[in-house]
Amino acid sequence: MPVFLPSLKKSGHLDRLHMTICNVGSRKLGNQNDYASQGWSIFAPQLAIYGFDADADACDDANAELAARQANWTEKHIPLALGKSVGESTLYVTQHPMCSSLYPPNEPYLARFAGLPELVNLDFTVEIETTTLDSFCQEEGIEEIDFLQIDVQGAELDVLAGASWILERSILCVQVEVEFSSLYVNQPLFSEVDTFLRNQGFTLFDLNNAYRLRAESPVRSLVRPGQLLWADAFYFRDLIQEERDIPLKTPDKILKLACIADLMNFPDYALELLVYLTLHYENDTKYNFANSIIDSLSAFPEGLQQGLASLPIVAKLQNYASGDYLALLQNRGASPINESISLKAASFSPSPLDVFHSTGYQRHNQRRLEHLASLGLEISGSNVLEVGAGIGDHTSFFLDRGCRVLSTEARQENLEILRIRYPNIEVRHLDLDNPDPTLNELFDIVYCYGLLYHLQKPAEAIEFMSHHCHKILLMETCVSFGDEELIHSCLEPAEYPEYSISGYACRPTRKWVYNQLKQHFAFVYMPITQPNHEEFPIDWTSPASTQTFTRSIFIASRQQIINALLVEDIPMKQQHH
């Protein structure tokens, strides 16, 4: 989740930016392929997205979905195969179309790995016309692309070679799939892609790695996830190097670069760029981001506790801050949004037992589980995946009903307590912001109470849970008031056992959660009742006047559920159980 973009949006700093995205290999397989779900819609309506895919049907489906969605940005998916030159090529269509490539699959090598032949082995070939990104841009009069994503199964370097003109004149960030072994015959590998982009002035920031196990091995390591085969590589330009004369080094380009870095989860780089602009363009208020930076950093309780002005990077901004934000630096005021969480941060970091077995937490759990039982759902004897189990205070609810439970948790200290409390069930590490790709079991019930709002990537988490859910998904989460389909990012103290392990969290609206679930389940319900607890509102027509959490319950199902306590809608009025 971005740290600085919400404040930049609120202050109007984004109003003058027009962001252009190009996605080569734009087939939509889930939320990870939908830019709006990833947060890019914050730039709307000044947002343009161009998607390219050799599969015309995939482009038609994406365009039809956009038309039905009535998006307030410009997005179109174009049935073109991009490469290094204009001409004709052979498209090798694979068993799963998403793995099709301009290079033939390396089937003898693929056969050595679990789960690859059924996706990547050849189905048929077809002759197609190819063009280049440069040719398309010049023909369409597109002079600027800010962010380029490429995922074309081994032909990424070809696309880059055909985009040298637009790369040089505008592109600030490249996300590109790279391979470390030849999954396709004669394909360029990571080293060649890396060399090309470095020569174009880009720097590698990170790799999202993908591993595979050997197909016939009955054993696997608890330490190593298999062989590294491919990754998504993230490259950024460095526009603030003092020793280099960079053509793209303009304040608007640096601001765009900061926005992209923040959206791509590199907030430290975004902060460096925003501070640079504030200090180097001090006479131009358009590039004074001091207030937005202070507003965003005030969400960190550690900073509030010791005083934001004591942070070296914030001290540089004190002469540029104004109003309430200057007062905050001078300890004359506090951020009301973060006041309650900063009070917690001022005390010691409690142990998991201190938190989860406190009187307030136990009461909260009792009310939630009483309510769940009152719904009369078919739970007994089910196979249950419990995510975000904490120290297992909900686990016995299912064990007492004869369920088989796989209890999962991201924090090591919580896992240790779980294993002590439940020595006879399977307990496993699972971080839904970075889920384990080797988990391949289907469960009757996926139980997700009190976790979603602690995640940095909630849409991807919902998609992951849906892939492992055979019958129903039970979800309880903190939400934001409002009828809009929005998700608000926030920060939490990562050192506390009940908060986000990454420090990045979210507060979606009920409509956002409901519609995300509808993308993966045929039926989504909400109860007409709420747990009898102050954090569960029953009147959604006006926001709560207190600073307490606001929570809702959702039930997603593969089959229709006939239950008088459930409605297939988002109720504005509920009643306490």
Angle formed at CA 545 by CA 542 and CA 547, multiple of 5 degrees: 125
**CA-to-CA distance for 17 and 131, rounded, in angstroms?**
29
φ, ψ at 446 (rounded to 5°): -110, 125
Pull the structure tokens for residue 576. Answer: 């306490």
Pairwise CA distance, residues 100 & 120, whole Å: 7
Q: Could you tell me the sign of the dihedral formed by the alpha carbons of 83, 86, 92, 98, in that order?
A: positive
SS3 72: coil
Q: In whole angstroms, give the CA distance from residue 462 to residue 388.
A: 13
Angle value at C-alpha 272, between 267 and 273, nearest 5 degrees: 95
Instruction: Decide: 348 and 355 in contact? Cβ < 8 Å.
Output: no
* The length of the chain, given as a count of residues: 577
DSSP of 136-149: HHHHHT----SEEE
Strand partners of residue 490: 505
- 368 CB contacts (<8 Å, ≥6 apart)? 394, 449, 450, 476, 531, 533
pLDDT for 499: 87
Question: Contact, 291 vs 325, CB < 8 A?
Answer: yes
29-to-34, 62, 513 alpha-carbon distances in Å: 9, 10, 19
CA angle 345/347/352 to nearest 5° reads 85
Q: How many helices (H) and strands (E) does the chain have?
A: 21, 22
Question: 392 CB contacts (<8 Å, ≥6 apart)?
Answer: 407, 417, 418, 421, 422
Task: List domains and CATH numbers for the chain.
Answer: 15-84+132-263 (3.40.50.150), 289-345 (no CATH), 352-576 (3.40.50.150)
Question: To which residue do tokens 């470095």 refer?
Answer: 198
Q: Which amino acid is at 55?
A: D
pLDDT, tens digit only, all 577 positions of the chain: 688 998 999 899 999 999 999 999 988 655 455 776 677 888 999 999 999 999 999 899 889 888 887 778 999 999 999 999 999 999 999 999 889 999 999 999 999 998 899 999 999 999 999 999 999 999 999 999 999 999 999 999 999 999 999 999 999 999 999 999 999 999 999 999 999 999 999 999 999 888 888 999 888 776 778 899 999 999 999 999 876 677 899 999 999 999 999 999 899 999 999 999 999 998 888 999 999 998 888 776 555 555 677 788 888 888 898 887 777 666 544 443 343 333 333 334 568 887 888 888 889 999 999 999 999 999 999 999 999 999 999 999 999 999 999 999 999 999 999 999 999 999 999 999 999 888 888 999 999 999 999 999 999 999 999 999 999 999 999 999 888 888 888 888 787 888 888 888 999 999 999 999 999 999 999 999 999 998 999 999 877 654 568 999 999 999 999 999 999 999 999 999 8
pLDDT for the residue 307:
66
For residue 362, what are the CA distances in angstroms to 68, 274, 546? 45, 43, 21
